[in-house]
Amino acid sequence: MWEIVLEWCAEMFGATVRSKGGQLVVFCLGLFVLGLVFFVRWGVAGWALPAILIALSWAAARQVASARDAVWRAACLSVDDARQRPEEASTRILAPTTGSLCQLAHAIDEVRRGLYVAANERIVLIERRLLRPEELQLLDAVRAMISVGLGATARAAQQATLALPTGSDELDTCLGRTVVSEAWNDADRLTAIEAAWDRAGVSRGPLSRLRSLVRIRLDGAELDTMPTPEVRELSDEARAIGDDALAAELDARSRPAAYR
């Protein structure tokens, strides 16, 4: 019962997927009228109940916002950073959206630490309908990371196509390499991947490097126009996806002696 009330309060303040800003106006007007009635009867003390209800609603919205912050800290901060690891689950009453976000934060932390079985057990507790699009991408990324951890790379590549880019460099690196590696010998799939990342606005970070590597794979002439520092970075990516021959060529191209 209280979970539903908290969810409704968070919805009014626009903190959830199902924002109900119109109800907030009605709610505030109702509280104002209620406060006036109580004020006439009990004086200033009559405003106590409306103030408590407003504070409860704000706290519910803040609860969701804090859980959402925890999700992005779990995804983006280094695992060595004390702020990255989500706090242990609380016994206090949580709105459903807050609960799903807390579970997502823990699942992200677990896959980043290689705890794939624990993450797999946790994701069943997450309600997809309560997540924003970018949070759904993180959830899909968690599923893909679990598949990677279990050795199902082909399945992981399929799941990762829905998740990328996630906004987390570590997740993007691992899943991006998985996607490219699985499609490395299929020009049509590589073309589709490059086009999808172009539409997503990928222009920097690990996916940008992988996108450059894909362009080289599709057209070797791309390599002639790339600056030496970028070529040096791409050699590591080529080696990571298993093409040692291309990595060696990129290493050679990145050496100043190669141009003499």
Residues 125-166 have pLDDT tens digits of: 999 999 999 999 999 999 999 999 999 999 999 999 989 999
**Would you say residue 82 lies in a domain?**
no
Q: What's the pTM?
A: 0.83
Q: Specify the pLDDT at position 44.
A: 67
**Would you say residue 117 lies in a domain?**
no
In terms of pLDDT, which residue wins out, 82 or 33? 82
Residues of the chain with pLDDT > 70: what percent? 82
- Segment 68-86 mean pLDDT: 94
**171 Cβ neighbours under 8 A, 6+ residues apart:** 75, 108, 112, 138, 141, 145, 163
Quickly count: other Cβ atoms within 10 Å of residue 120's Cβ: 18
Q: Is a pLDDT exceeding 60 seen at residue 3?
A: yes
In terms of pLDDT, which residue wins out, 15 or 242? 242
Q: Specify the pLDDT at position 260.
A: 44
In terms of pLDDT, which residue wins out, 37 or 153? 153
Q: Is a pLDDT exceeding 80 seen at residue 92?
A: no
The domain in which residue 238 lies consists of 167-260
Q: Is a pLDDT exceeding 90 seen at residue 110?
A: yes
Among 56-60, 94-98, 170-174, name the one with the lowest average pLDDT: 56-60
**Would you say residue 63 lies in a domain?**
no
- Backbone phi and psi for residue 59, each to the nearest 5 degrees, phi listed first: -65, -40
Domain count, the chain: 1
2-12 and 21-42 helices, crossing angle to 10°: 110
pLDDT band at 90 (very low <50, low <70, confident <90, very high): low
**Would you say residue 88 lies in a domain?**
no
**Would you say residue 16 lies in a domain?**
no
**Would you say residue 243 lies in a domain?**
yes
In terms of pLDDT, which residue wins out, 22 or 70? 70
**Would you say residue 237 lies in a domain?**
yes
Q: Specify the pLDDT at position 131.
A: 94
Q: Is a pLDDT exceeding 50 seen at residue 80?
A: yes
Determine the straight-line distance between the first and last CA of the chain, rounded to whole angstroms: 75
**Would you say residue 91 lies in a domain?**
no
Type of residue found at 112: R
- Segment 187-198 mean pLDDT: 93
In terms of pLDDT, which residue wins out, 24 or 168? 168
**7 Cβ neighbours under 8 A, 6+ residues apart:** 16, 60, 95, 96, 97
pLDDT band at 231 (very low <50, low <70, confident <90, very high): confident
Q: Specify the pLDDT at position 258.
A: 46
Mean per-residue pLDDT of the chain: 84
